[in-house]
Amino acid sequence: MTTKRTVAVLVLVVLAGAVYLGLPYARATALLIRVSKMTGAAGSYAAAFSYPVVKEPPHTVPTRQGDVPAQFYRPSKNARGRTLLLIPGIHSMGINEPRLAALANDLAQGGYLVMTLALPDLMAYSITIQSPDVIEDAVGWMAKQKELAPDGKIGIVGISFAGGLSTSAAGRPSIRDKVAFVLSFGGHGDMPRVMKYLATGEELPAPGAVTHPPHDYGVAVLLYRLAEFGVVPPDQVQGLRDGARTFLLASQLTLVSMDEANATFAKAREMAKALPEPSQTYMNYVNDRAVSKLGPVLVPFLQQLGSDDPGLSPQRATPPTAPVFLLHGDEDTVIPPAESVILGEALRSKGADVRVLLSHIITHAELDRAGDTYEAWKLIAFWADLLSR
């Protein structure tokens, strides 16, 4: 059964039991319908729980790393839920990333005031302790605005690596009482462990989680970051990084225009031809998506990333006092699903309130897979719980 047919069945189930289940389930079902881009009867159902959205001009949020671009998605009527801070993962387009903008709009249609904010480091394919600093400052700024947080609290939704970083930041003393909940959508638990997975495919076993070979995007990011740490001679660093960045941009453009993406992939292949060795070989690995060849080259340099800082890993950081929701695609190859399972167990051992869901309907922070009715129901129940906070 496709995702759309599954949700259509669930619409009838939710309508039939609306008195018992309550409004949160109806609104969560409407969200799933919007994200799935359904039309017809299901679309009409979602429209009953949807508001027109105004996408406001970009603004900036003051942080210790400078002013960071952000954008509000505001329901045309009074918001009916908490204000949400929505943060994308490693992507150079930042708040303009198409999937992020679509999710922000879908959430805002449900009556939630949404602010998107991209972490400058992640836009530059880097992860440093400055990223949770920016999240901490952004939450603090939002929580002070009465319009945004009447009770002084907001919800955080972090995607991919921003999910783990958001969970780490949410436990910091300055904002832990200003967070209503945090959702890590396809996020990590331990940064060094994920860096090793991207290069080797190795991950700890976890109940209910299956680990698949890593995606080529992740190892290309690693090469981009590690080039300057001895992977290639100093005079080859810039050329190799330019090539890797071109490949990463091409990967991102597949969501915008396949013609542009293919032209940019072709450019990356041409750039490889002009590189000296060993950069040419490594760039060919990138273009050929040869993770099994490039990964071992990078393993000796992983410690140079600085990823062992406890502040980058929610499994090592002080846990949030707010509820933590960990949502993960069960076949994710960017950050393996075991990360959410292991993190959930670690946070519970420290007394945190945690909910974990591995879903077949999700790939990496995207709802774009087929699943049965039970899978869709679990996802609706998960979102209903979260959106009722």
CA-to-CA distance for 216 and 290, rounded, in angstroms?
A: 7
Percent of the chain exceeding pLDDT 90 equals: 78
Residue labelled with tokens 């990084």: 241
Task: For residue range 187-246, list pLDDT tens digits in order.
Answer: 999 999 999 999 999 999 999 999 999 999 999 999 999 999 999 999 999 999 999 999
Nearest Cα to Cα of residue 58 among 50, 49, 66, 67: 67
Among 75-84, 134-143, 282-291, the range scoring the smallest mean pLDDT is 75-84
Instruction: Please state the φ and ψ torsions of residue 67, each to the nearest 5 degrees.
Output: -75, 130
CA-to-CA distance for 365 and 383, rounded, in angstroms?
A: 14
Residue labelled with tokens 């009447």: 150
Looking at residue 373, its pLDDT comes to 76
State the average pLDDT over residues 86-95.
96
Q: Find the DSSP H helices in 65-208.
A: 98-109, 120-123, 130-143, 161-170, 191-200
State the average pLDDT over residues 304-324.
96
Task: For residue range 92-142, list pLDDT tens digits in order.
Answer: 999 999 999 999 999 999 999 999 999 999 999 999 999 999 999 999 999
- The domains located in the chain, with CATH, are 53-190+313-387 (3.40.50.1820), 195-201+210-305 (no CATH)
Among 31-40, 48-57, 67-76, 256-265, the range scoring the smallest mean pLDDT is 31-40
Looking at residue 30, its pLDDT comes to 83
Report the chain's mean pLDDT, rounded to a whole number: 91
Task: Identify the three-state secondary structure at position 26.
Answer: helix
Task: For residue range 357-369, list pLDDT tens digits in order.
Answer: 999 888 776 665 5
8 has pLDDT over 60? no
Contact 331, 210 (CB under 8 A): yes
Which residues are CB-neighbours of 196 under 8 A, at least 6 positions away?
202, 299, 302
State the average pLDDT over residues 332-342.
97
Task: Identify the three-state secondary structure at position 357.
Answer: strand
pTM comes to 0.93
19 has pLDDT over 50? no
- pLDDT class for 370, splitting at 50, 70, 90? low
Beta strand 114-117 with 154-159 is: unpaired
Looking at residue 146, its pLDDT comes to 94
Rounded to 5 degrees, what angle do the CA atoms 160, 58, 110 make? 60
Looking at residue 361, its pLDDT comes to 87
CA-to-CA distance for 171 and 166, rounded, in angstroms?
A: 9
